[in-house]
Amino acid sequence: MAFEEKIKELLDKRSEAKMGGGQKRIDKQHEQGKLTARERIALLLDEGSFEEFDMFLTHRCTNFDMQKQSFLGDGVVTGYGTIEGRPVYVFAQDFTVFAGSLSETMSLKICKIMDQAMKTGAPVIGMNDSGGARIQEGCNALAGYAEIFERNILASGVVPQISAIFGPCAGGAVYSPALTDFILMTKQNSYMFLTGPKVVKTVTGEDVTVDKLGGAMVHASKSGVAHFVGETEEATIALIRDLISYIPSNNFEEAPYMETQDPVDRLEDSLNEIIPENPNEPYDVKEIIHAIVDDGKFLEVHEKFAPNLVVGFARMGGMSVGVVANQPKAMAGVLDCNASRKGGRFVRFCDAFNIPLVTLVDVPGFLPGTGQEYAGVIAHGAKFLYAYGEATVPKVTVTLRKSYGGAHIVMSCKQLRSDMNYAWPTAQIAVMGASGATEVLHGRALKEITDPEEKAKFIAEKEKEYNDQFANPYNAAKYGYIDDVIEPRNTRFRVIRALQVLQTKKDSLPIKKHGNIPL
């Protein structure tokens, strides 16, 4: 064969591989409002940066006459490229080839880029669009999944792992995304579940649609499985690019720094008046977050799930930070099972990847009731507590208003090795609120008072007495639990100065294989 013919053969094979399952199936993908695997990669990566692996790989299955049907690439596109100049490894399942089902050889392709990512210290981004395990391959497909899962586990905390769900993700396939750091879904055509509607109907008799069982909004608001939801595939891919900008490429790097024109010493006068006079009146903690971070930009994580706790990424003085804040606007900002899970996972991610933590506290306690106790609020709250106590990254805490009881401890108090603990003059740090404390401290005396007017006067007097002592930050400051009481409008400046001085912080944990977090 002449040299020119060999070149032509190569180019023809490349063209064939790029067509996946063929034009008909590509058209069908577009008709469903979905992009192809290659279109997704092109949107995700910097133009011209993609280098593909294993374009010519094909499956090795001969069961059910599978040898008669074969496609170059075997249903997944893999390789590496850059996002804003930073290297990332990527795989995108191709639904046009055997419905993106996972074969032994497809798993080999995915595992190869994951191994490379670990060696080079670069993030892994997986774009899922698959009908699950390739049934014709039997246990080989299951082994392929297990190989991927093991790499997800080994890569956890070493390189960031991001999963985007752009179609079906069912059965064992859901566990790879679940093992990664962030899951993104789209409002349409995106769903995850262990067992589909037909199996649910057969086993439990329950009629349920695909969307109600495992759609994007279900996982974003009810289960907490999805961290982000995009309106479209394009919007979801833009979210991935934005997310990557806040996190380092691996656990040895510092979080990315980005120059800002927003002055470090910018005063925010509105913060001096944001806390209502009535301690039971809500306000939006996101207004405080937007006011103190660079250019008011905040990338919220888990926005629809457990809204009583707000978590997400921002920059302060150009430094990437993880923000954790109680939200008085939702359930008065109490902690519950879901908020504790959400906060604990986010804190552990930031700690794993050297992202400083800024915590804004306004928490009246944990949500009481049998529902929470039966759901294991003790164990879930302990996860959050464990995450903060274990974290060795710089930790700056600002108490805005209430900080009561066990919830005070959980929210990055001084004894959990928080580095800088500030408080606004409106801070109240105590075991509980005045009303509850009065009942406990003066319960016997209250029983002896029969006149309603006299009882009301006594309660008001004792509540005032308790508030005078604890409805301020100075009692905690007296013991050094608060490093300084700051004027609210100076919060941005004080937090950034603290983060700057903590850049050289060194903290360590006792030598051990790993702790036993209360899962």
- Catalytic residue numbers read 171-172, 406-407
- Do residues 333 and 249 make contact, with C-beta atoms less than 8 angstroms apart? no
CB neighbours of residue 371 within 10 Å: 11
C-alpha distance from residue 493 to each of 297, 444, 451, 477 (Å) = 16, 48, 53, 20
DSSP helix/strand/coil, 324: strand
Phi, psi angles (nearest 5°) of residue 191: -155, 155
Element containing residue 15 per DSSP (H, E)? helix 3-18
Between CA 61 and CA 370 the distance in angstroms is: 53
Which residues have a Cβ under 8 Å from the Cβ of 151 and sit 6 or more positions away? 111, 114, 115, 118
Between CA 90 and CA 321 the distance in angstroms is: 25
Between CA 112 and CA 326 the distance in angstroms is: 42
Element containing residue 120 per DSSP (H, E)? helix 104-120
- Do residues 126 and 109 make contact, with C-beta atoms less than 8 angstroms apart? no
Q: Where are the alpha helices (DSSP H) in 391-508?
A: 405-410, 434-441, 443-448, 452-470, 474-478, 491-501
The DSSP-derived string for 230-254 is ESSHHHHHHHHHHHHTTS-SSTTSP
- Do residues 353 and 248 make contact, with C-beta atoms less than 8 angstroms apart? yes
C-alpha distance from residue 301 to each of 354, 410, 510 (Å) = 18, 20, 31
- Do residues 434 and 466 make contact, with C-beta atoms less than 8 angstroms apart? yes
CB neighbours of residue 457 within 10 Å: 12
- Do residues 229 and 254 make contact, with C-beta atoms less than 8 angstroms apart? no
Between CA 130 and CA 168 the distance in angstroms is: 6
Nearest Cα neighbor of 487 from 277, 325, 279, 270 is: 270
- Do residues 124 and 114 make contact, with C-beta atoms less than 8 angstroms apart? yes
Between CA 177 and CA 217 the distance in angstroms is: 17
